[in-house]
């Protein structure tokens, strides 16, 4: 079970990390703190290990440690905000063979999730 207070508490720790996100990964208007809550809400931790998200210890998908330093998303597309957001909204539109499901994030929610993932350096 996800502990919302813990997820929100983790989000508050992001203030120091946000300054470290390189300019090419900054997403204007996106809030990494909202991304923490959405990652917990949409159950991303069932498949991925996600630092800073209580209980996110999945082993189906790759661990997301250091995501902000990766060159590619899913080994398919350059790790830039527009591509990552498209991937988070509809992974199969980019790679029909991926096992990552469409979890129901809309475009704005995906922007917040992407902003958080880019703090993972």
The pLDDT profile of the chain, 121 residues, written as one tens digit per residue, is: 445 555 555 545 554 455 589 999 999 999 999 999 999 999 999 999 999 999 999 999 999 999 999 999 999 999 999 999 999 999 999 999 999 999 999 999 999 999 999 999 9
Domain that holds residue 88: 4-117
Q: What is d(CA 75, CA 57) in angstroms, rounded to the nearest whole number?
A: 21
- In total, how many domains does the chain have? 1
Check residue 16 and give its pLDDT: 46
At residue 15's C-alpha, the angle toward residues 10 and 17, to 5°, is 90
Domain of residue 46, CATH code: 1.10.760.10
């Amino acid at each position: 079970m996800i502990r919302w207070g813990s997820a929100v508490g983790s989000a508050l720790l992001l203030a120091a990390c946000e300054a470290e996100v390189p300019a090419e990964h900054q997403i204007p208007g996106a809030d990494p703190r909202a991304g923490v809550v959405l990652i917990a809400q949409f159950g991303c931790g069932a498949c991925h290990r996600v630092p800073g998200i209580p209980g996110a210890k999945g082993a189906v998908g790759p661990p997301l440690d250091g995501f902000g330093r990766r060159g590619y998303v899913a080994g398919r597309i350059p790790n830039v905000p527009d591509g990552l957001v498209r991937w988070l909204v509809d992974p199969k539109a980019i790679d029909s063979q991926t096992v990552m499901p469409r979890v129901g994030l809309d475009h704005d929610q995906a922007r917040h999730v992407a902003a958080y993932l880019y703090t993972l350096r």
